Amino acid sequence: MAENLDALRHSCSHIMADAVKQIFPKVKLGIGPAIENGFYYDFEKQDGFVPEDLEKIETEMAKIIKANSEFKQEEISKEEALKLFKNEPYKIELINNLKEDTVSVYRHGKFADLCKGPHVKSTGDIKAFKLLSIAGAYWHGLETNPMLQRIYGTCFGSGKELRNFLRLREEAKKRDHRKIGKDLDLFSIHDEVGPGLVFFHPKGALLRMLVEDYVKGEHLRRGYQIVMGPHILKSDIWVTSGHYEYYKENMYIFKVEGEEYALKPMNCPAHMIIYKSKIRSYRDLPIRYFELGNVHRREKSGVLHGLLRVRGFTQDDAHIFCLPEQAEKEIIGVIDFVFDTMKVFGFNEYQIDLSTRPPKYIGSLDMWEQATKALKNALDAKGTAYEVNEGEGAFYGPKIDIMIKDALGRSWQCATVQCDFALPERFDLTYVSKEGKKERPVVLHRVILGSMERFIGTLIEHYAGAFPVWLSPVQAVVVPITDRSHDYADSILEKLQGENIRTEADKRNEKLQYKIREAQMNKIPYMLIVGDKEQASGKVSLRARKEGDLGAVDIEEFLDRIRGDIKNRR
């Protein structure tokens, strides 16, 4: 089914390219693959596209679809291909880079494109499509290459599927963490400071602290020890770890007094050095080091995206040093940790991938086989379904990635566990065995939430900013109806704050309905409205974000309710 959908979408990208060429003959063609949830095509257009162009292109596409032209494949020589695409410089580059003597071309109507397929039978097989957006994209993704115009679209087998996708897409726009983050005053990013660098405002910092406090507590409860490493290390360390060779282009490197240093993109070398600081016995293992480690990576500006892709972020990073025979049990423990934690934060669906040895790697093949076997056995022991991604592991070891699914069914990368036999050898890590010999430990690299920034972004979109009570930066707001009730409101505020309930008072000179609407817009779980009547009875009029008006209640009754929400993490 997925292959058929890819063929449908790839065919639609050809139809879009055909339509663009008919409307804008001077446009030069790039490439147009099917992607997750749709397709795109890259074009060189001197004055760029504008949103109004999409409607024109869709109209032309409808005509091409109505013509029901057959998709036909041809194998032609390179010479013929160069003649066919003589006015298309990007196609000529692609042809010249081909190793094969023949070139695959697909035609429909008068349009031809370089392509290996597959495609649907004819243009008339396209039943439901929509062009979505315009973006800039460097040719081959390299900033030194020309900037092209990319048109994104989507295509489905039926109008119903398309409408459902567009509905979810609109809902996703409403949940965009960048918009909600601004509306709720959670965080900001400033170009004058630098792209990809996040400022957490008071409410956002409090939300992050709540998440971090939970994570710290769970690590301590599960036998982890908290460590902290420096933010910069000499480049020699990164050479030893392999990052200098395999990851240098993503690192910030600089010199101090003639010696080269790097801002850490990973926490692992520091944890290796802490482990190596003294002699270890087999009786000491497993040792589990945990750090909320700040790291920096030199990401290209074009891939930065709110909290989801940044240059400076914090990982809930840990490294487990264990005996080879302990590895599978420790991996299972990590998987259980992930599942338990995600359930607390409201995620109950997962997608799990096992990624194997990449083309460029360190360590021996035997090490990779042992590491991959340990991960696979742990997954099999859990009875958890997973997919294998051949060649997608880290350069030092295979890995399990656990993607969580949010309220809209979208996948988010969070947790990972990597099994590593290579870095213990590179850092000469040892333990003394029962026999008194020096042996190598296995290292498990793992994160539960992943990047704190990305996880906060995920939470924002999952809950659309309406966090459960235990996570809400403001759990309750006291709203006096008139100035006469300010003193009573202050007494309620003082009592709630004394019970560690995160509470504010809205004493602005505004109408009651305006204040209620503001509290709803700010996604505050509870509103405690107080006026003359409430003050006389010693009660509050309670409104809940979900249920609405709950009537007059005693303050102790409200405290019992909210304490239950917090205790049960609702």
Among candidate residues 119, 243, 264, 319, the one labeled active-site is 319
* 3 has a pLDDT exceeding 70: no
In 196-245 the beta strands, taken as DSSP E runs, fall at 198-200, 225-226, 232-234
Among candidate residues 108, 271, 309, 445, the one labeled active-site is 445
Confidence (pLDDT) at 1: 43
* 517 has a pLDDT exceeding 90: yes
Return d(Cα 490, Cα 254) in angstroms, integer.
54
Return d(Cα 308, Cα 456) in angstroms, integer.
9
Return d(Cα 414, Cα 458) in angstroms, integer.
9
Confidence (pLDDT) at 67: 96
Among candidate residues 10, 280, 297, 502, the one labeled active-site is 297
Ordered by where they begin, the domains of the chain are 2-172 (3.30.980.10), 181-463 (3.30.930.10), 469-567 (3.40.50.800)
Confidence (pLDDT) at 2: 54
Return d(Cα 307, Cα 413) in angstroms, integer.
13
Among candidate residues 317, 406, 420, 506, the one labeled active-site is 317
| Neighbouring C-beta atoms of residue 434, cutoff 10 Å | 9
Among candidate residues 149, 315, 326, 535, the one labeled active-site is 315
Among candidate residues 9, 21, 296, 399, the one labeled active-site is 399
535 is catalytic: no
Return d(Cα 151, Cα 16) in angstroms, integer.
9
Return d(Cα 339, Cα 353) in angstroms, integer.
15
Can you tell me which residue has the tokens 């996880």?
Answer: 455
Share of the chain above pLDDT 70, in %: 99
319 is catalytic: yes
* 353 has a pLDDT exceeding 50: yes
Confidence (pLDDT) at 362: 84
305 is catalytic: no
315 is catalytic: yes
Average pLDDT on 79-100 reads 93
Return d(Cα 88, Cα 103) in angstroms, integer.
15
Q: Which residues of 168-205 are buried (b: 16+ CB within 10 A; e: fewer)?
A: eeeeeeebebbebbeebebbebeeeeeebebebbebbe
Per-residue model confidence as pLDDT tens digits over 414-423: 899 999 988 9
* 264 has a pLDDT exceeding 90: yes
Return d(Cα 340, Cα 319) in angstroms, integer.
19
